[in-house]
Every structure is written in structure tokens, then in C-alpha cells.
Amino acid sequence: MTFAIRNIFLFGLMALALVFTGMYQSWPLALTIVNMALISAIMALGVNMQWGYAGIFNVGIMGFTAFGGLAAVLIAMPPVPDAWAAGGLGAIMGLMLGAATIFAAIIVYRKMAPGKLRGLSIALVIIVGYWITSMIYGPATHAISRVNPAVDGYLGGLGLPVILSWPLGGLMAAGLAFVVGKVALGLRSDYLAIATLGISEIVIAVLKFEVWLTRGVNNVSGIPRPVTRPVELQTREWVQALAERTGLSVSEMARVVELVSYAALFTIVLAILIWLAEKALNSPWGRMMRAIRDNEVAARAMGKDVTRRHLMIFILGSATCGLAGAMMVTLDGQLTPGSYEPLRFTFLIWVMVIVGGSGNNWGAVLGAFVIWFLWVQAEPAGRWFMDTITSGLGPDSDLRNHLMTQAAHTRLIMMGAALLLMLRFAPRGLIPER
Amino acid sequence: MDILNAIVVLSNFVLIPALAYGSQIALGALGITLIYSILRFAHFAHGDIMAFGTAFVILGTWGLQAMGVSFGPLPTALLALPLGIAVIILYLLLADRMVYRFYRKVKAKPMIFVMASLGVMFVTNGLTRLIMGPGERRFDDGERFVFSVREFREWSGLAEGLALRSSQVITVVVALIAMALLFWFLNRTKSGKSMRAYSDNEDLALLSGINPERVVIITWAIAGTLMVLAGTLYGLDKSYRPFTYFQLLLPFFAAAIVGGLGSPLGAIVGGYVIAFAEMGITYAWRRFFNHLLPDDWAPTTMLQIIPVDYKFAVTFAILVLVLIFRPTGIFRGKTL
């Protein structure tokens, strides 16, 4: 019982910190933190499934998140008819031909007897396949990127409601995870780590350079939103009345209402996911996963197919990260491939899971809130810290000016310290696994 | 048909740059492989500590330049190397004392070490950015070229030019010296032999009276030296940006795994394999074949297998192929 009280106390403290942020800094800031923390919590849940349930070490979270984020563009943006006319068919066919080439190579590898002939045939299949693919794919994608490049230059999406992109983002990340898992799971854990690190860099490269699909570094902005814009909210009577009662300005109130509606959407998704994750963890399936994690050899001896189970949980966890990625792009209203950084999108999520308590879903959620809160608040804190320790140097000091401009980076040091301290002194995290 | 011009083109755009790049990767991968075989974990902070060490070399270089010291035609950075190496060795030993030693004592799982190295990575990255900022820094000086394209053309009378940058020569020479010293150390000295013994069989090494803490200190010192060398050479040859150094982690690990984790020779071979594959597959071969083939056979397309933007994909593909067909790497490294 004390266990539950402790957890409620910890979540209560977190809520209090957010309320103080709202009262003493601003409510939009507090709600922005909440929204991003909710999304981070979903990512942390995904990582927790992989690491906490099954002991899979995935350092490619950024890749799955970014790939899921692509779904928001593919679903919600209006299609660009000219671009489709210019090369839509060719691009799609090129992709399919590329996939077919790989399939053909795999079939040849499986069906033929080992030997020189097999190697030659595979090489032949790949070279011919590559040649045909690039003949169709290259010109088509080039033509697409030439269509009105200042605004379009890409195929656009389907023009559907953006919420639909969330499950699609999950599915896309799951597909990617299936391919990566098929190759790298079942080998040692640090191989998987390197493989996922590699795939995440490749995904970012694809988003950056496949202009016909994502507009690349030109970004896709203005993705349709699932909630009403603050500009429209300002004209509503109930918003104005609410502003009057709370003493906030109308524009601030409109922003608050918008952020609260996002938060509500995200909370629903998070609640469903936690419910599912808790159900799964406490089912026979969850017990099996933990058995595999704690002693793989024994689990294998009991007749469990460890590699398959690992693949399954790897796909589930990555899909969760992809879902979060689509949600994040929805919240931002834009896809900016240049902004994905492994430190922020992979390793910070890891800090959240370790600090919160790996193996415990509530721990992952709490960790996400605590770490994201610190991450945001560390910037002003770092500036204040640098200001204080260099205040003796005088305003003209080069060292002081340099440290002040780079002060935001102290948050990285803080995150590292948090990770190291937790790992050393409370390795089971804020809310340990039961 | 003009074989000479074809070779010159190939050397200028693929062979020489790949040789330099491969040497840089090999030095990094050697560090990864040494840490892996002695401390038995994948050192994720490698790229960031490399950036941190290079930052001190750059600061030293600026200091020397401000004092008016120069190294003649060679970059001043070479004079500042000892400073960077000393700082990094101290830093690594401090990290070992404060972070890793505890986990060694409690015999933690390798994954816990990896997590701890993520923590060190964060701290190091923050320190580097605090000192240098996230932007690009240049610190190369001295003679830029051993010979330039124009000089080569005038000297040889060929249609194609070839440039040899001094940073490329320095990279290869320094890397070769470092590798030779490392192998001499590992094979000929008592400390090196104790390191190899410890890597082979920990228990047996302990029984024969090898002090594990001493082996660990030597390992960090060597790995630190290699990191600063690799970082400085990469910075001189290309440019210094903390984030690019983090991204080098992938080719480093790939090289170490391809060569066989735990095998120093493998790390070197792996480094060159990765570099040549990356350069070769992302190079547009059209000009090469223009010289080699008769005129009416001349290629109409760029003959570039994949765009340079996807160089990570090449590293990744090699890694995957090795994982599938020879998981222990070329030189039969460790399997856990």
C-alpha cells in the first residue's frame, strides 16, 4: 500500500511543479511542457516495452519516431496533382521495383543450393533490378521535385484528417522494425544497438534527401491541425468569457484552450496505451517476456521461441515510438527532417526510462514528465547559473559572454549527471518494477 | 582509352581520400576494439570524447598561434596534440574512477556499462558544446597542398589533375606510426602482453598476477591517445563540428565489427574496408569510364550507385552483410 502512496506522491509533486510553472512563468509554457511530456511518455513506453519487458537495447528511437512522423504528411497534406502527373506513378513503381529486387534476391538465396552459381545469380538479380529501378525511379522523382519547387516539389499527401496518421505512423514504424528486427535480432545485444543506430541515421537521410516524398530540408509546414486554431478561438464568446473570469488576456486564453485540447487528445492515447501495456505485462504473455529477459537460456529450454518473441516486442515498442512521432509532427504542424538529433530523440528517451524505472510503465511515464520538465527548465536555469558564477568577471569579459551564449548546453551535462546518478544510486528508477 | 588518366581521376577522388578517411576510422575503431576487449562493453561515448579531446587540441592550437608559434609547413595542431591527449587521458581516468569502476566491482552486466557510457556521453557532449559551441571550427594552418591539381597537370602533362593535400599525407603517416607503435606495444612489452592476456582470459590473467586496474588504466590511456589522434586528423582533413564526431560512431563500430570485435588488426582492416566502400559506392564513376572506354561506349549517366547523402547506408549495408554471413567478423573476433 505504501508503494501506491509513494507513486501518487511522486506524480503529485510533478503536477505541483507544473502548476508552479503555470503560476510563476506562464500557463502556455506549462501546457507546452505537458504536451511534449505526454508524447515523450508514449515514446518512453515504447522503449520500456523493449528494454524493460524484454531487455532489447534499441538506440534507433529517433529513426522510428521520424519515420512515424512522415505519416502525418502522407495522410494530412493535400495531394499535389501536378506532381502526381509529373512522376507519381514512376516514383511508386520505382519503390515497388526496388522492393521486388530485394525479394527476388532473398528468394534466390533461399531456393538455390549454396555455391558459386548462387552468388552469381544473386549478383545478377541485384544488378539488373537496380538498373531497372533507377531507370524508372530517378527521372520520376526528379520530375516531381521540379514541380513548383518553392511551395510543392513533392507528391503531397492524401488530404485526410490528421488524426488518422497516428495509427499509420505506428504501422509504418512497425514495418521498419520488422525489417530491422529480422536482420539484427537474435544476434548479440550490442549488434542490435549498432544496427538500430545505423537505421535511424538512414531514416533521417531519407527524410532529408528524398525531396519528392518529404520536401527534404525545405520542410513541410502547415500540416492541417486536429484542433481549432487560437486565432479562431479568440472570436468565440466562451473563450472571451473564460478569459475574463481567469484574468488572462484573450489571446493567451485561446492559446491555453488550444493546448488543453491537444493535451486531452494525447492523454486519451496515452491512457489507452498504458491500459494495454499494463494488461499485457500482467498477462501470461508478460510473464513469459520477463522470463525471457531474466534468463534467456532457461526460457529457451522451456520451449519458448525467444527470437520470435523478441521480434514481436521490438515491433510493438517501435510502433509505439512511431505513433508518438506522428503525434509530435501533428503538434508541431510541420515536418522538419533537419531537426532530428539523436541526443534529443533517442538518448533523452533512454534517460527518461532509466530515471523513471525500467520495467514499470508508470515509471516510464513519470520519467518522461520529470526529464522533459528538467530539459525545458534547465535552459533558463543554466543561464542563471552561468550568470551567477561569471558575475565577477564584468560585462565585457569574453569568457563570460561566451559562457552565457553557450549556457543552454549545460542541460546536456545535467541530463548526463541525472542518468549517472540514478544508475548508480537508484538503478531501479523512481518507480521500481514490481 | 586512356588508362593513365583514369587512374589519376580515381586516385584523386576515391583512392587518396579513402586512404585518409580509412586511417581516421581505423584509429577510432582501434579504440573501440581495445575498450571492448579489456572492459567488455561497447563504448558509446567514443565520438563525443573524441570531439572533447579535439576541442583542447584546437584551443592549444589557437594559443600557440596567438603566441606566434608555428610548425613551418605542418599544421600547428600537431604541436598541440600532447595537450589534448593529456587532458583526455585524465578525463577518461576520472570517468573510470567515478563511473565505470563501481560497475566493474559489482560485476554489472555489459548493458549497464553501456548505459553508463551514455551518461558520460551526455556530460561530455555538454562540456564540448559549452567550450566550443555547436558550430563548425577551423584550425588547420601550414601548407595546404603537397602538390595541387595545377602543379600536377603542369608536371605530368595529363588532362586530369591530381591534388595531394598535406592533411591527407599527415593523416596516413601519423596513423601508420600510431598503429606500428600500438602493435609493438601489444606484442613486445610486458604491459602489452598483460593486456592481451587479460583480454583472452580474465581469470587466468588474474591468477598469473596481472593487476586488472593497471591493465584498465593502460587501456584508457591508449584509447584516449587514439581518440585524440583520430579526432584531430579528421578535423584537419575535413572540419571540426561536435555533431559530426558523434556520427562517426557508426563507421567506428561498423569497422570494429566488420574486422572482428576485439581484434586490433581487424579494426584497421575494417576501417579501410568501410572507407573504400563508402567512397567507391558514392562516387560518380562516369569520368573514370570516360577515359577507360572507347568514345562510342562512353556512359550516358553519372554511374553513381547511390548518392553521397546515403553514405551511412553503405556502412550499414556492410554491417548487415557481415552480421548475416560472418557474425564474428573478418578476423574472428569475440562472440558473447
What is the CATH number for A289?
A: 1.10.3470
Chain A CB contacts of B243 below 8 Å = 341
What is the complex's ipTM, to 2 decimals?
0.90
How many other CB atoms are there within 10 angstroms of residue A147's CB atom? 20
Residue numbers of the domain that contains A143: 80-155
Smallest Cα distance from A355 to chain B, Å: 11
In chain A, % of residues over pLDDT 90: 47
Same domain, A313 and A420: yes
Residue A380 lies in a domain: yes
| C-alpha cell belonging to residue A132 | 531497372
Strands A220-221 and B164-165: unpaired
The grid coordinates listed for B207 are 591468477
Interchain CB distance below 8 Å, B126 and A416: yes
Q: How many helical (H) and strand (E) elements, i.e. helices and strands, does chain B have?
A: 16, 2
Query: Which of A122, A155, A188 marks a domain boundary?
Result: A155
User: Residue A100: inside a domain, yes or no?
Assistant: yes
Average of per-residue pLDDT across B192-213? 90
- Chain B residues in contact with A195 by the CB 8 A cut-off are 316, 319-320, 323
Whether residues A337 and A395 fall in one domain: yes
The cell 607503435 sits on which residue? Answer: B181
A219 & A241 share domain: yes
Other beta carbons within 10 angstroms of residue B221's beta carbon come to 16
Tell whether A109 and A147 lie within a shared domain: yes
Q: Are residues A16 and A116 in the same domain?
A: no
Helices A189-209 and A61-76, interaxial angle, to 10°? 30
* A294 falls within a domain: yes
Q: How many CA atoms lie within 13 A of A145 on its CB side?
A: 17
Which domains, ranges and CATH numbers included, belong to chain B?
3-325 (1.10.3470)
Same domain, A248 and A270: yes
CB contact under 8 A, B42 and A190: yes
User: Among A180, A166, A167, which Cα is nearest to A61's?
Assistant: A180
Write down the mean pLDDT value for chain B.
Answer: 89
Q: Out of A123, A155, A187, pick the residue that ends a domain.
A: A155
Is residue A345 a part of any domain in this protein?
Answer: yes
Instruction: Decide if B115 and A419 are in contact by the 8 Å CB cutoff.
Output: yes
Is residue A360 a part of any domain in this protein?
yes
For residue A236, is pLDDT > 70?
yes
pTM of the model: 0.92
- Residue A127 and residue A275 share a domain: no
How far, in Å, are A23, A385, A393, B132, B324 from residue A389 at the CA level? Answer: 28, 6, 9, 19, 54
Burial of A309 (0-12, 13-18, 19+ CB in 10 A): buried
Q: What's the domain count of chain A?
A: 2
**Do A30 and A148 reside in the same domain of the chain?**
no
Task: Among A187-196, A354-363, B218-227, B293-302, name the most confident range.
Answer: B218-227
Where is the domain boundary, A127, A155, A183?
Answer: A155
Chain B positions touching A405 (Cβ under 8 A) are 133
pLDDT digits (tens, 9 = 90+) for B143-177: 888 888 888 888 888 888 888 999 999 999 999 99
Structural domain contains residue A407? yes
Condensed to tens digits (0 to 9), the pLDDT of residues B75-115 reads 999 999 999 999 999 999 999 999 999 999 999 988 899 99
The answer to whether position A253 is within a domain reads yes
Task: Tell me the DSSP string of A288-311.
Answer: HHHHHHH-HHHHHHTT--HHHHHH
Which ranges of B189-303 would DSSP assign to H, the alpha helix?
190-200, 202-207, 212-237, 242-247, 249-259, 264-282, 286-292
Q: Which three cell numbers stand for residue B74?
A: 605542418
Query: CA A262, CA A247: separation in Å to the nearest integer?
Result: 22
pLDDT at B334 over 80: no
Residue A266 and residue A327: Cα distance in Å, rounded? 8
Same domain, A216 and A340: yes
> A63 and A203, same structural domain?
yes
